[in-house]
Amino acid sequence: MARMLGATESYKAGKVIFKEGTYGEGTYVLIDGAVEISKVINDKKILIAKLGKGDIFGEMSYLDKGPRSANAIAISDVAVGLMDKDLLDEEINKTAENFRVIIKALVERLRTTTIELVSMKEQCAKQAAKS
C-alpha cells in the first residue's frame, strides 16, 4: 500500500475533505484520525459511515468518474494519503476488460445502495420525530 501513496494532506476536526456533488479523482487512505461520510437532506445530516485508520474513501468517483456521492468531513484531526492516480490507472489498465465491467457494476450498485440507505435513515428519522 505504501508504494501506492503519493502526497499526504492534513485536515483539522470539522474540515471538509470533499463535498457531495463535486468531481474529483482523489482516492484517500486514512493514515490517522477519523472521517465521517454523510449527506445533508432537508437540513439534516445523515451519517453513512465513520471511517478510521487504514480505511479508503473517494474510490467511487475515481472508478466511475461520477460526482462524489456524499461529504467527507474530518471528525478529528486527520492525516490522509492520496493514492497515486498514475499508479492506480496503470493497475486498472492491466485488469482485463471483463473485470473492469464488474468493478463498474459494483460501483453503480454501491451508489444505488447508498441512496437507498440514506432514504431509509431519513424515513426512520421522520417516524421517530412523529413519536
CATH code, 81: 2.60.120.10
What pLDDT score was predicted for residue 1? 52
What domain range includes position 117?
Answer: 2-130
28 close to 58: Cβ distance less than 8 angstroms: yes
Number of domains in the chain: 1
What pLDDT score was predicted for residue 11? 97
Low-confidence ranges of the chain (pLDDT < 70): 1-5
Beta-carbon count within 10 A of 100 CB: 13
